[in-house]
Amino acid sequence: MHQRLILAIEKIIPIDIACSIDEVTCRLDARDIADPADLSQRIKARIAAEIGPCVTCSIGMAPNRQLAKIASDMNKPNGLTILRPGDLPGPLLGLQLDDIPGIGPRMRRRLIDAGLWTVEALWNTQPKQLRALWGNVTGERFWYALHGYDLQAEPAARSMFGHGRVLPPEWRDFDHAFEAARLLTTKAARRVRRAGYLANKFALWLRTHDDRWYGETLLYQASDDQAALRALRILWDKARSERAPTIRIKRLHVALFDLSPAQMRQHDLFLRDDSTRAKWKTISDTIDRINARSAKTLVSIGPWTPPPGGYAGGKIAFNRVPELEDFW
């Protein structure tokens, strides 16, 4: 449904960022700025025609993404709110502090402790004051966004690729849990390759009813399945030796991290595995192409045994919109 909505909206206006499973931002051109109500009507009509009358959308338009998000929440579930620069701060003054994106319970408490009880008081602050309250430049950017400035923050650098899974009761022994871990590790390595990165480290988290285990090992700037699965086996054997083999593993998580762009790989003078690593990369790339051709996992290194319920690695999450490849 997310993909269908994206396709429907992009027939009217290009999408700038898919923020979550149910929220996107778009940049307006001169025509849309001149007649935003017409743009809203065309988007709503397209969604109704291609998705159906049961899915509606709330649209907010404003000088920047922060204010547009605030506007989109002001007239739900099927409304349109336009915040023009000349109208500010008027329409904002009726909001509560926690109606503003970026102000969670802790920040709200911090603002109140500083004497900022209302949105009007927040509006009348200075950039440096909010920087001090936030403890970093985010507070200053927040001030400028609230006042209608369209600041472009630097994109956050990717730090890791990982997958986790709560295991069904019949899969909580070490052997079944390892099969789930192998599948999740392979899916994480695929995402690293698709994004054009190499990982220098691999980590494994295990959670039982009343205990936790964590370990990490080096990958030496790799993204192929063999390297990731070898790292998993090293940590899995270590976990088994340090914990009773009869423990029940309730949840597991794997991650490839300490990333660098693939084109910036530095060869290791002492490791001397460049030719072997290149062969495994070729094998993984070939497997990716075969699977992409059929849009499912036809080839894998070792067994491919999804846990009960399937869809390992492809769950819907609001902090990351799944890619179609996650469901293969």
The answer to whether residue 318 is domain-embedded is yes
Q: Residue 49 has what pLDDT?
A: 95
CATH code of the domain in which 165 resides: 3.30.1490.100
Please check the confidence at residue 315 and state whether its pLDDT lies above 70: no
Please give the C-alpha separations between residue 230 and each of 43, 60, 191, 202, 203, in angstroms, as whole numbers: 49, 49, 17, 10, 12
Which residues, at least 6 apart from 138, have a Cβ–Cβ distance to it below 8 Å? 102
Q: Residue 73 has what pLDDT?
A: 92
Phi/psi of residue 19, nearest 5 degrees: -70, -35
Please check the confidence at residue 202 and state whether its pLDDT lies above 70: yes
* pLDDT, averaged across the chain: 90
The answer to whether residue 106 is domain-embedded is no
Residue 198, SS3 per DSSP: strand
pLDDT band with cut points at 50, 70 and 90 for residue 105: very high
- Joined together, the tokens standing for residue 277 give 């690593």
pLDDT band with cut points at 50, 70 and 90 for residue 247: confident
The answer to whether residue 2 is domain-embedded is no
Please check the confidence at residue 188 and state whether its pLDDT lies above 90: yes
Q: Residue 319 has what pLDDT?
A: 66
- Joined together, the tokens standing for residue 248 give 């029940």
Please check the confidence at residue 90 and state whether its pLDDT lies above 80: yes
Residue 274 φ/ψ region, left for φ over 0, alpha for ψ in the -120 to 50 degree band, beta for the rest: alpha
The answer to whether residue 76 is domain-embedded is no
Contact predicate 151/64, CB 8 Å: yes
CA distance 190 to 241: 29
pTM of the predicted structure, to 2 decimals: 0.74
The answer to whether residue 71 is domain-embedded is no
Distance of CA 211 to the CA centre of its chain: 28
Please report, in angstroms and rounded to a whole number, the separation of the first and last CA atoms in the chain.
Answer: 17
pLDDT tens track for 231-242: 999 999 999 999
Which residues, at least 6 apart from 201, have a Cβ–Cβ distance to it below 8 Å? 216, 217, 218, 219, 256, 257, 258
CA distance 212 to 249: 9
pLDDT greater at residue 159 or residue 205: 205
pLDDT greater at residue 318 or residue 301: 301
Q: Residue 153 has what pLDDT?
A: 66
Closest residue by Cα to residue 321 from 83, 44, 61, 3 = 3
Q: Residue 277 has what pLDDT?
A: 80
Q: What is the mean pLDDT of residues 245-257?
A: 92
CA distance 248 to 255: 21
Helix (H) or strand (E) holding 17: strand 17-20
Specify which residues 198 forms β-bridges with: 260
CA distance 225 to 241: 24
The answer to whether residue 219 is domain-embedded is yes
pLDDT tens track for 118-159: 999 999 999 999 999 999 999 999 999 999 998 876 666 778
List the domain range (segments joined by +) for residue 176.
161-327
Q: Residue 55 has what pLDDT?
A: 92
CA distance 274 to 290: 24
Q: What percent of the chain has pLDDT over 70?
A: 94
Domain count, the chain: 1
The answer to whether residue 114 is domain-embedded is no
Q: Residue 328 has what pLDDT?
A: 81
